[in-house]
Amino acid sequence: MAKEKPVKLTRLELEIMGAVWTLGSGSVREIREQLPEEKRPAYTTVQTIIYRLEEKGAVRRVKKIGNAHIFEAVVTRKAAHNHLIDELLHVFGGSPRSLMAQLVETGQLTLRDIRELEGTLAKLQANKTTTTADNSLKNKSGRGSKRRQGDAK
């Protein structure tokens, strides 16, 4: 259920969603200020993108403070990232292996990284197995990391 159509995000939209995800929620201005100043578009540019994101269903207005609307993300960071990965994987012929291989080949991923990951994963898996006696590698439940919106302008 809940087909959650992919919601295709463009580069700039992603950039802005990044700010929204980090903020938790905020006004257009707050979201804009969250962006690194080197790449901080005009206020109205950010506003436009937010409107588009709203149309796409990636964010929504949750309330109004003064005359300013407060937005929050509807699409989770994880979901968005996942979509990106799928796209990349598609280009790589669907194989995560070749992707990994290239990461290694270009030195962006070291043997040490892999071992570390392996360790963590092995541990995690063992743990899960003892608690659930079964681990369907397909779980998508979004636990934790919910809010973090403190901000006093």
Partner DNA sequence: ACACTCCAACCACAGTTGTAGTAGGTTCAA
Partner DNA sequence: TTGAACCTACTACAACTGTGGTTGGAGTGT
**Contacted entry of DNA, a copy of itself, none for residue 47, CB cut-off 5 to 8 Å set by kind:** DNA
E strands, 2-153, in order: 25-26, 59-65, 68-73
- Nearest CB to DNA, comparing residues 44 and 132: 44
Under the binding rule (CB under 7 A), the answer on residue 80 touching DNA is: no
| Closest by Cα among 72, 58, 77, 70 to 5 | 58
Total Cβ atoms within 10 A of residue 23: 21
The answer to whether residue 132 forms part of the interface with a copy of itself (CB under 8 A) is no
State in angstroms the smallest separation of the CB of 86 from DNA. 16
Residue with smaller CB distance to a copy of itself, 62 or 85: 85
3-class secondary-structure state, position 134: coil
Compute the distance between CA of residue 48 and CA of residue 54 in angstroms, rounded to an integer. 10
Residues that bind a copy of itself (CB under 8 A): 14, 18, 78, 81-82, 84-85, 88-89, 91-92, 96-97, 99-111, 113-118, 121-122, 125, 137-140, 145
